[in-house]
Structure 1
């Protein structure tokens, strides 16, 4: 979509720079909060504005009826809880309230995000019920962005922070026969799922082993439905009314489905596809900004920016297009398998640092880092297939996310770099946070057992009133209790809370 030309008058060098943030979910709120922390904003040299398409902040955590939009604006199902303990997933600058359930439900997270926006006075800088419909780079050589809004307005910005999330466009697997099942209303993506229903029938196939696939399988089984859960590489196994099977090879007629081991399940009444979402930027339709296709193998590193729908490539630090000599656009929140909120803060810190000090981003070093990651993934995967590498590019394993966060804060610390301006100091990921992230599965299982016994409220009573250390102590206690009965030992000794985060 080509935007109409706008007249840009000559502006004094000292005129304030305008920053556009697309989206006011977790990423957009983190970006806006960090921008307000900068000396550039405090000295009135930066003017930020965030545009949010919906009428409240919160992004994916703000519920919506699945039938209101196609696809739904959020895949939030009724029973969803976090899969991380909230002391691990919280913004470093803003803990969850005292006595919050350790694994809170979605509405608690939404209230938390609203409180975050109010606490740091973000709302005056957010324009709600306003979407960004199209973005172009100015064609007159100025390093600026022309933004068309759903209101019909066209605004010009010096910097662009893309925070639109990646849980909107459903990803469907390429399986023969699936399109026919969808057309006959016998299959849907989990984006539309909200709660188990008898209307799905007696035998429901669920594809995908992520959090939503696991939750949906469990919920459907609880109402008596026979669930066939398709998990890639899994051996056939029957556990009550849940049948574990491998990958689906073909959807046949009359409710029959062929699996990778050659078995066929008959009489399937419905299929729920929980296979994730595509990375999409519909407002960046100009191919001179992003090409929506798989990038070519490297070397050499391409000069254009590519969106494979699995990853954006090549990006310096998973944030900045490497092809831009002076980056004025940043993409936040592309990483998966991470604790998102604190990581988004770190990415926002790096973003404002590069915007204020573009020379600090060493394109040669960043290119070397990209080449090294490409080679490392090729070795781990045993393949140089660009699609396989794309699928793994933004997925962090083990403690890679924590090293990444520490590196971003070190990079963005203006106090250690002569001639730079910006936020001084850094945040280091504490050891307790790494430990509890590793134990998230054990902790969640233990918390669910406390809820079933009616003991959860008692465990969190009063916790957090005196600071973060009380939450760390509670998590340590939970981990000890969870591992005691099984004879396992909690990893490491009790770790003190990082006092800088209290």
Structure 2
């Protein structure tokens, strides 16, 4: 069957991946109609921190971000091609953009499309259904900006659909014994719902699961507030790109094997090494997310019947099979093998999602214009997934043998990891092969760039050290001013030395 050449394309999701996909389809393609729908009342995805201070139509879908978040990616890796990220207002010691600066960049990038009506906000996708014989996709949406109490349901047909909903919708909960009960009691909370340090954590006994970015942030934020130590349950040392400062108030412990609810509604946790920790008040789960575009229904690829037989896309995954945490049947992490008029941008976890989304959506644009060629049979398209799974399983086995430990949960099908440069460079080569003018527009991916990118993590560590010193100095200044004020009130000259230590919020 011939590869699709869609005329009308719908992009789902107004975050990083959706916005750059929209731009590339509109500016680098020649499609009849391209639109983007976003269920929230502004673009930006996880970078849009909607604290819903004023009522908005429809349900509330909060970002997993928290106030005062500072990223760990430098501006050049947050820049879409032909749209450089503005110089952050931060100092040379803290060059990483803030949550607000990043959202401002995305909002400005989207402004012209919002003005043109190409982006429709407050539009929730309820269902995407594949039509028989590759005749398009029925998309059912709910318009929450209408006057209808339950939203206005609209159905439309599109030649092609790009799903750009990312990773941060469905939290992944580890299958630890007793966790469901603790979760129901409201004691266990996923990192998705963390909103920063607050006095409600003062004096509480806290357990944090994991040592990725979210877990490390939570532990360090709560260290000045919670009862010491804060316990951080980890399976292995953190990867070097999960940067955090050492803190004597945080104690690393073995993985949890069992949670038990006490009579006083506190929790006892049993660790893998046999130790018990009692009277835990709060458990934060930092075990990540799992992709689940549950609104997509496709024709059964194995049905011989000519009649329509729809099933959820995610039902194609056997949860007992290798690498179950993935969107199934994707060629190059982008095209749905059984019908390439369905595509995904952002189906992978990567170090630089802005630039990866840019190059992959440019590749998709040219593929749908039949400028870039790719296999036409589903079996050939599926070979990418088979090869990727086999490679990951081999590498996981090697790591387990070499370390004697369970392989990292980030060493998985959907995490590009060390293959990021090769993956992006391969897409770019195919793009430049048909559109040479884009060679100097899209970023470079090479071994040299990989080394340069990895230097970000050492720079991030130094920035954390600088921020810590700044907060210590601010605290000392406050103490000096307080002592001075007290001395003036007592009619004496300040002679009391400033304490050398104190609470440091970082």
TM range (shorter): 0.7 to 0.9
Partner of 2:127: 134
Partner in structure 2 of residue 195 of structure 1: 196
State the structure with more CA Rg: 2
Deviations along 1:338-394, one digit per CA (max 9) or x if unpaired, are 2000100111011111211187112566444433322221211129x9x99997001
Q: CA deviation at 1:104?
A: 1.6
Offset, 1:138: 2.0
Structure 2: 5+ residue stretches without partners: 144-152, 239-245, 299-309, 401-406, 472-506
Q: Deviations over 1:313-334 (max 9, x none)?
A: 221101111223xx11110101
What is the aligned counterpart of 1:444 among 452, 460, 464? 460
Match of 1:178 in 2: 179
Contact preservation (8 Å) 1:132, 1:150: yes
Q: Let me know the Cα RMSD of the aligned residues.
A: 3.4
- Please state whether the residue corresponding to 1:393 is helix, strand or coil: coil
Give yes or no for contact 2:11–2:18 (8 Å, CA) kept in 1. Answer: yes
Q: Please give the residue correspondences for 1:315-334 in structure 2 after superposition, counting only pairs within 5 Å.
A: 315-324=330-339, 327-334=340-347
Kept in 1, the 8 Å contact 2:207–2:280? The answer is yes
Tell me whether 181-190 or 196-205 shows the greater mean CA deviation.
Answer: 196-205
| 8 A contact 2:335–2:342 mirrored in 1 | yes
- d(CA) in 1 for partners of 2:134 and 2:434? 31
**1: CA distance, partners of 2:372 / 2:458:** 45
| TM-score using structure 2 length | 0.74
Q: Alpha-carbon deviation of 1:132?
A: 1.2
Is 1:32 aligned to 2:22, yes or no? yes
Matches within 5 A, 1:103-118: 103-118=96-111
Q: Is the 8 Å Cα contact of residues 293 and 314 (structure 2) preserved in structure 1?
A: no
Q: Contact (CA 8 Å) 2:29, 2:366: kept in 1 or not?
A: no
| CA distances 1:384-421 after superposition (whole Å, capped 9, x unpaired) | x9x999970011223x212211111222336369xxxx
Report the equivalent of 2:141: 149
Q: In structure 2, what is the equivalent of residue 242 of structure 1?
A: 250
Is contact 1:311-1:391 (8 Å) kept? no
How does 1:48-447 map onto structure 2 within 5 Å? 48-65=34-51, 72-101=61-90, 102-118=95-111, 124-139=117-132, 141-151=133-143, 152-200=153-201, 201-226=203-228, 227-233=230-236, 240-254=248-262, 255-285=267-297, 287-288=310-311, 290-292=313-315, 294-295=317-318, 308=324, 310-324=325-339, 327-357=340-370, 360-362=373-375, 366-382=381-397, 392-398=412-418, 400-413=419-432, 415=434, 427-429=442-444, 433-447=449-463
- Distance, in Å, in 2 between the alignment partners of 1:192 and 1:24 is 21
Residue aligned with 1:333, SS = coil
Distance in 2 (CA, whole Å) between partners of 1:122 and 1:333 is: 25
CA distance in 2: counterparts of 1:215 and 1:356, whole angstroms: 44
CA distance change for structure 1 residues 243 and 72 in 2, over 3 Å: closer, same or farther?
A: farther
Q: Is the 8 A contact 2:424 2:445 kept in 1?
A: no
- After superposition, the Cα gap between the structure-2 partners of 1:58 and 1:416, relative to the gap in structure 1 and judged at 3 Å, is closer
Change (3 A) 1:149 1:257: same
**CA 1:374/1:241 → structure 2, altered by over 3 Å: closer, same or farther?**
same
Distance 1:413 1:366, change over 3 A: farther
Number of residues paired by the alignment? 418
After TM superposition, give the deviation of residue 173 of structure 1 in Å: 0.8
Structure 2 partner of 1:475: none
Distance 1:120 1:409, change over 3 A: farther
Q: Which runs of 5+ in 1 are unaligned?
A: 1-14, 300-306, 456-502
Offset from partner CA, 1:151-187 (integer Å, 9 cap, x none): 3111111110101121011111111111111222211
Supply the distance in 2 between the matched residues of 1:391 and 1:168 (Cα, whole angstroms).
21
Q: Is the 8 A contact 1:170 1:277 kept in 2?
A: yes
SS of the residue 1:291 aligns to? helix
Instruction: After superposition, give the CA deviation of every residue in 1:29-77 in whole Å (9 maximum; x if it has no partner).
Output: 010110122251xxxx421010011111101111133999999531111
